[in-house]
Amino acid sequence: MESGLQIKTRCSPEADAEDEPVSPTGQYFNSKSLSVCILAVLETSVPIDDSGTLPLLRELFLPINPRFSSIMAYDKKGKRRWKKVEVNLQDHVNVPSFPESLSVESYDDNFDKYLTKLTTKILPEDRPLWEIHILKYPTSKAAGHIIFKLHHALGDGYSLMGALLSCLQRADNPSLPLTFPSTKSNKNANKSRAKSFTSCIQNFFSVINGATFDFGWTVFKSACIADDKTPIRSGDKDLACHPVKISTVAFSMDQLKLIKTKLQVTISAVITGIVSLGVRLYMQGNDTGFNNSRTTALVLLNTRNINGYMSIQDMLKADNKIWGNQFAFLHVDLPKLTTNKTLNPLDFVSKAQKNILRKRNSPAVYLTGQFLEIIRKFRGPEAAAQYIKGTCKRSSLGITSLIGPVEQMACAKHPVKGLYFMPIGVHKSLVVSVMSYMGTMRIGIGTEKGYIDSQRLVCCIDTAFELIYKAATLSK
């Protein structure tokens, strides 16, 4: 086995000239209140040969960003900085051993248990905040699994996914770049008609009033108002320590696009509508008394003004600081569930579209970020982290999404047949992640183990998709 590089466990408190300050968001996500990580799971279609793992990490992964070979350290002024260290790659690579010659069902169970165990382990602070787990055993979904565990302080989903994709190649032709679905809006649909001066003034004040309300409600909701305790929200004070059961369900992009076109909405609205309806169906299955409970989703938005992923080189340019944590969140109320006789599944999509479009374009998103910065400046990073923690705890579920490539990828000549991710440590009983890849939308469902019946929730979300798809195809 290749020896790898050796780590320096002690660093001088005096920052080197090249040491980078830890961003405010990076400090929030690695604090006493929060320790948020991202699990990215790659499913391979062939058995895994891990003999080239260390050279791949050393030659491709580590050079992507200095943070992958740095730890968080305090300088003489008590400020946190990324301190460069030498890395022992073997410390970061885990290859578990399961019993040989088990059934596929048994390996499914072993994989699920291993993945759940990963959700409770804290990354060591004395080495760079990432690790890889290689599971060579076949399951019903893949011949093998490669799991990246990356701390959110390193960057948000966009940055980390960009880093991950830079280590992968197109399976059909490695010399060609990966391509991604366009996120540009339909120009014809978005052409605005000329407006009079009076209507422009009215629209301006409407936006200001809406922003004021949205910002006030977001702050009030984050600080004071908690959602009701329901079958999807236990309200436990220490959810970050609870194991998370991760399940997935997949939908055809063609079918989702049909719903999108029929209803003239965004894919985000379609997915949010499906998840909202599925969650309400699950809650109704426990007790119809939960139909009208106060239940909100915390939707994370990428605030970069770009379409698709950029190269790592472009991300890191001094005049184009795309790397890092650049996102905002907004509260979206889940529609109340009526009786089955009067249920209109499309209402969940239309209401999601209305809420997301209004709030995404609202200045309240910017104001919320500035409010967090004010907390940090006057009360310190830990107070800001506490505010984010309260925001997470008081809502019922989180929804986050990423765009994946259209073509099949390969990792060291291992074709990747499936891809999904899951944020962990976010103080929620339910987190939903959304990832597109090769014409399929993969929904990851992270549930508080022992509190939510993950199998039944997956069935409810699948049912919600069928109801919305059927209603959309029948609509004129």
Residue 422 one-letter amino acid: M
Nearest alpha-carbon partner for 4 in 74, 49, 45, 57: 57
pLDDT at 360: 64
Longest dimension (CA), the chain: 75
Distance CA 234, CA 241 (A): 14
pLDDT at 206: 44
Structure tokens at 13: 């408190």
Instruction: Provide CATH 3.30.559.30 ranges for the chain.
Output: 210-403+427-474
DSSP 24: H
pLDDT at 341: 54
- Is 20-170 CATH 3.30.565.10? no
Distance CA 378, CA 24 (A): 13
Nearest alpha-carbon partner for 179 in 368, 403, 395: 403
In the three-class reduction of DSSP (H, G, I as helix; E, B as strand; rest coil), residue 278 is classed as helix
Q: What does each of the 476 residues of the chain score in pLDDT, given as a tens digit?
A: 333 333 333 333 344 435 788 888 888 888 888 899 999 999 999 999 999 899 999 988 898 888 899 999 988 878 889 999 999 999 999 999 999 889 999 999 999 999 999 999 999 999 999 999 999 999 999 999 999 999 988 877 677 777 777 788 889 998 888 887 765 544 444 444 444 544 444 444 344 444 555 666 666 666 678 888 999 999 887 777 889 999 999 999 999 999 999 999 999 899 999 999 999 999 988 766 777 788 888 877 655 444 554 554 554 444 445 545 555 677 778 887 765 556 789 999 998 888 777 666 666 666 777 777 788 888 888 888 888 888 888 889 999 888 888 899 998 889 999 999 999 998 899 999 999 999 999 999 999 999 999 999 999 999 999 999 999 998 76
pLDDT at 326: 54
Distance CA 124, CA 138 (A): 29
Nearest alpha-carbon partner for 117 in 245, 232, 240: 245
Beta strands 144-151 and 37-44, pairing class = antiparallel
Structural contact between residues 430 and 446, judged by C-beta atoms closer than 8 angstroms? yes
Q: What are phi and psi of 375, to 5 degrees?
A: -60, -45
pTM comes to 0.85
Structural contact between residues 150 and 129, judged by C-beta atoms closer than 8 angstroms? yes
Query: Edge to edge, what strands does the sheet with 414-424 contain?
Result: 93-94, 130-135, 144-151, 37-44, 414-424, 409-411, 169-170
- Report the CATH number of the 210-403+427-474 domain: 3.30.559.30
pLDDT at 387: 85
DSSP 100: T
Residue by residue, DSSP assigns 312-368 as HHHHT-TT---SS--EEEEEEEPPPP--TTT--THHHHHHHHHHHHHHHTSTHHHHH
Q: What are phi and psi of 251, to 5 degrees?
A: -125, 150
Give the torsion sign (CA, 407, 412, 414, 420). Answer: negative
Q: Which residues contact 294 (CB under 8 A, 6 or more apart)?
A: 227, 228
Residue at token pair 């946190």: 80
Distance CA 444, CA 231 (A): 18
pLDDT at 14: 40
pLDDT at 58: 92
Question: Residue 105 CB: number of other CB atoms within 10 A?
Answer: 10
